[in-house]
């Protein structure tokens, strides 16, 4: 697949996610404070996790530029469907968490402070951050490239951990985002496979 085509799918998939996430942050109404659960207690807060958290912004382009071309259309469609569903939830159920207070005493805490200041204070449930990471990892799975596949899984686990570590989401948000990603991937793969089968029969 040509680079221009890959970049096209990256833009039409990722740009709507950003626009929906930002625009729905202006929704007014009663905000649901998503509670912490037992898994959150197992992950101590630490600004040092911000670097793995920000790796999200490298991992997505990497996936679109290197993944198997047979999966790029599915990935793009799943991004869009996941964004639409998340956007509806963000409007109908604005959500936030109890963000921790912390002192700026190093580059990691400064970076987390910058992210916290410019990020939205709601739209926590489901975690769109977690959803898009999951979709990329599903796309990167390739039985013929086990080293890369397992490396991506390990990286994803670390990014999941960092999401909780820097308290941009809690476990309930993250779990919901992962489930949503699995659902949208399956739906989009099934639809595109059926369309391909229909086209081949004509």
Token pair of 99, please? 């963000």
- pLDDT reported for residue 91: 93
Burial 154-179 (b: 16+ CB within 10 A, else e): ebbeebbbbbbbbbbbbbbbbbbbbe
How far lies 177's CA from each of 107, 109, 160, in Å? 29, 26, 11
Provide the token pair at 159.
Answer: 């990014």
CB < 8 Å & 24+ apart, contacts of 114-117: 115/50, 115/53, 115/54, 115/166, 115/168, 116/168
Instruction: Please give the structure tokens belonging to residue 45.
Output: 């807060």
Q: What is the pLDDT along the chain (202 residues), one digit of tens a residue?
A: 889 999 999 999 999 999 998 898 888 888 999 999 999 999 999 999 999 999 999 999 999 999 999 899 999 999 999 999 999 999 999 999 999 988 888 999 999 999 998 888 889 999 999 999 999 999 999 988 999 999 999 999 999 999 999 999 999 999 999 999 999 999 999 998 887 766 666 6
Query: Which conformational region is residue 167 in: left (phi greater than 0), alpha (psi within -120 to 50 degrees), or beta?
Result: left
The alpha-carbon radius of gyration of the chain (Å, integer) is 18
């Amino acid at each position: 697949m040509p680079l221009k085509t890959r970049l096209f799918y990256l833009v039409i998939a990722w740009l709507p996610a950003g626009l929906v996430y930002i625009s729905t942050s202006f929704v007014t109404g009663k905000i649901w404070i998503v509670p912490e659960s037992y898994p959150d207690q197992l992950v101590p807060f630490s600004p040092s996790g911000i670097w793995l958290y920000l790796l999200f912004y490298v991992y997505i382009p990497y996936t679109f530029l290197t993944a198997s071309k047979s999966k790029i259309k599915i990935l793009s469609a799943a991004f869009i469907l996941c964004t639409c569903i998340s956007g509806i939830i963000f409007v109908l159920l604005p959500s936030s968490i109890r963000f921790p207070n912390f002192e700026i005493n190093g580059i990691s805490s400064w970076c987390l402070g910058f992210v916290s200041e410019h990020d939205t204070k709601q739209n926590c449930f489901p975690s769109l951050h977690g959803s898009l990471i999951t979709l990329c990892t599903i796309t990167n799975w390739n039985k013929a490239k086990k080293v890369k596949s397992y490396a991506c899984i390990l990286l994803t686990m670390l990014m999941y951990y960092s999401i909780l570590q820097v308290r941009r989401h809690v476990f309930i948000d993250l779990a919901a985002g992962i489930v949503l990603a699995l659902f949208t991937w399956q739906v989009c793969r099934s639809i595109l496979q059926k369309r391909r089968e229909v086209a081949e029969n004509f």
